[in-house]
Amino acid sequence: MFQSQCITLFSLCALISGYSEEDRVRDLMSRYPLIDGHNDLALQLRKHYNNHLNHINFYDIKEIATDISRLQMFSVYVLCGAQEKDAVRLTLEQIDVLKRMCTQNKDFELVTSTQDSHLKHKIACMLSVEGGHSIDSSLPVLRMFYQLGVRSMALTHTCNTPWAESSSKRYSFYQRQNNSLTTFGRAVVEEMNRLGMIIDLSHTSWGTAQAVLKLSKAPVIFSHSSSYSLCNSDRNVPDWMLKELNRGLIMVNFHSNFISCKREANISLVADHFDHIKNIIGVDSIGIGSDFEGAISFPKGLDDVSKYPALIKELLQRNWTEQELADILRRNFVRVFDEVEKVKRKKKKNFTKHPDSPSASDQHGPSALHILLTAVLLLSTLSLL
């Protein structure tokens, strides 16, 4: 009752002053430009344009939902089927197209540190590799990705790697063992801390995520995940793990399947995830990670980036303060990135103590299904000889 009265009073005052809720949202988002933790634009550039940028108008792309007027962490993603084949090459091609997009357009700026993230009048691009299979179990490849401008990496996507495990059971390249990290997986975490690369735990198994949370010296993020308590998908984060984030960040995913566990959802249900996480761990560990251009279905009224203001308006109507909204729009992520860079500076003179690749004994073994398929393929080949 009291909340309803407050909303009504604010609306009346806004009407009298001529300053609408929409004006308030626009002003807030102008002062605190959004940082979205996950956008798969590069995947769509490859799908629709084969990475040819010369004739693309990034402000009028009909095949793509992204309205390039906000700050985005652009995902560098290759399919799990490329693991131990051409994943590194394909990842480099995705990095190349995003770097060209962000450096050849006067309205774009490539962000590689918190010193760059203050930009408010350009489109800030931050590169994030989505899936540890992209480094092909090689620390030198990880280091080179960093040199090319990558500042975040998800340890897995929908497949296990030889050293970390996915929340998904879609692919069975490697057996799940103890739901954790191998010795080399721990080396990847420590090297990312040393480099100043943000560790992303979206798509990892809970066991792997928990192991990383205990090991990492820098705060980590879930770049596009939501609350497991409200939607019991393995891609979401349970309350007990939220409490272990330790000033890390969960950036709420808009994909309907992770909001309502159905193909349909609405803005109110998305706001429920923000409310729940705020009640569990406070506002300092919440951000926005839409998954635009990657997911299939989005809540009604929140189907592309032009609709961000509708979510902010909904949260305002739920009595979120402007300072809290400034935190989830921008300041929380900048704070995490800054703390990651502080850990880097502490480790600056340290060289990695780990081998550049895992030993044969330090890997999740191939799954029974993977072995069976390999055997069938081999027998089929022999029968043709």
Whether 40 sits among the annotated catalytic residues: the reply is yes
Alpha helices in 225-299 (DSSP H): 239-242, 256-259, 267-281
Length of the chain: 385
CA dist 318 and 384 (Å) reads 67
Residues 6+ apart with CB under 8 A from 133: 78, 80, 82, 83, 84, 87, 156, 157, 159, 161
Residue with tokens 């890997």: 363
Residues 6+ apart with CB under 8 A from 260: 231, 269
Distance of alpha carbon 216 from the chain centroid: 18
Q: Dig out the tokens for 307 from the structure.
A: 């609709």
Is 112 in contact with 165 (CB distance < 8 Å)? no
**Active-site residue identified among 109, 130, 191, 324:** 130
Q: Dig out the tokens for 367 from the structure.
A: 């799954």
**Active-site residue identified among 36, 38, 136, 191:** 38
**Active-site residue identified among 136, 291, 293, 314:** 291
Question: Helix, strand, or coil here: 20?
Answer: coil
**Active-site residue identified among 36, 109, 165, 224:** 224
Q: How many CB atoms lie within 10 A of CB 119?
A: 14
**Active-site residue identified among 40, 190, 293, 327:** 40
Q: Which of 152, 142, 176, 178 is nearest to 162 (CA)?
A: 176
Whether 157 sits among the annotated catalytic residues: the reply is yes
Whether 276 sits among the annotated catalytic residues: the reply is no
Backbone angles phi and psi of 151, in degrees to 5? -125, 5
Is 216 in contact with 201 (CB distance < 8 Å)? no
Whether 224 sits among the annotated catalytic residues: the reply is yes
CA dist 169 and 234 (Å) reads 10
**Active-site residue identified among 190, 191, 203, 273:** 203
Alpha carbon separation from 114 to 332, 333, 338, 374 (Å, rounded): 12, 10, 6, 46
**Active-site residue identified among 157, 255, 273, 276:** 157
**Long-range contacts at 98-104 (CB < 8 A, ≥ 24 apart):** 98/41, 98/42, 98/74, 98/125, 98/127, 99/127, 99/148, 99/149, 100/53, 101/45, 101/53, 101/58, 101/125, 104/53
Q: Which residues have a catalytic role annotated?
A: 38, 40, 130, 157, 203, 224, 291
